[in-house]
């Protein structure tokens, strides 16, 4: 059974899942996690959860709120938007990532206890 939690990002409720490594919800076999921005969901493969992966996925989320994909924006402007987002929201994103990482670790422990 997949474990999940609710997590608030930019005043939106996101559902964060821990899925077995072989779960097909993450279609790219090499990916440790996937963010589904439109559904407000993030899926993490159980044995690949690291603080770096959590930060990576939260960066996708926060960059998604810039709605860059809805405009015809070139690479240079996208880079500037990313730099500005980091300058403005970087510390907040890192704080959220640490909080979410600790929640995921606790969920993994509880999942393993439930299975035994």
At residue 31, φ and ψ (nearest 5 deg) are -85, 140
Q: Is the pLDDT of residue 69 over 80?
A: no
Local structure of 7: helix, strand or coil = strand
Mean pLDDT, range 47-64, rounded to an integer: 93
Domain containing 97 equals: 3-115
pLDDT band at 55 (very low <50, low <70, confident <90, very high): very high
Contacts of 39 (CB under 8 A, 6+ apart): none
In the chain, how many domains are there?
A: 1
pTM across the whole model:
0.83
């Amino acid at each position: 059974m997949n474990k999940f939690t609710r997590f608030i990002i930019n005043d939106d409720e996101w559902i964060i899942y821990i899925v077995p490594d072989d779960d097909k919800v993450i279609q790219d076999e090499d990916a440790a996690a996937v963010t589904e921005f439109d559904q407000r969901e993030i899926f993490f493969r159980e044995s690949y959860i690291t603080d770096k992966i959590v930060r990576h996925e939260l960066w996708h989320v926060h960059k998604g709120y810039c709605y860059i994909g809805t405009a015809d924006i070139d690479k240079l402007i996208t880079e500037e938007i990313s730099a500005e987002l980091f300058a403005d929201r970087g510390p907040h994103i890192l704080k959220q990532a640490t909080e979410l990482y600790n929640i995921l670790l606790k969920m993994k422990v509880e999942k393993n206890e439930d299975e035994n």
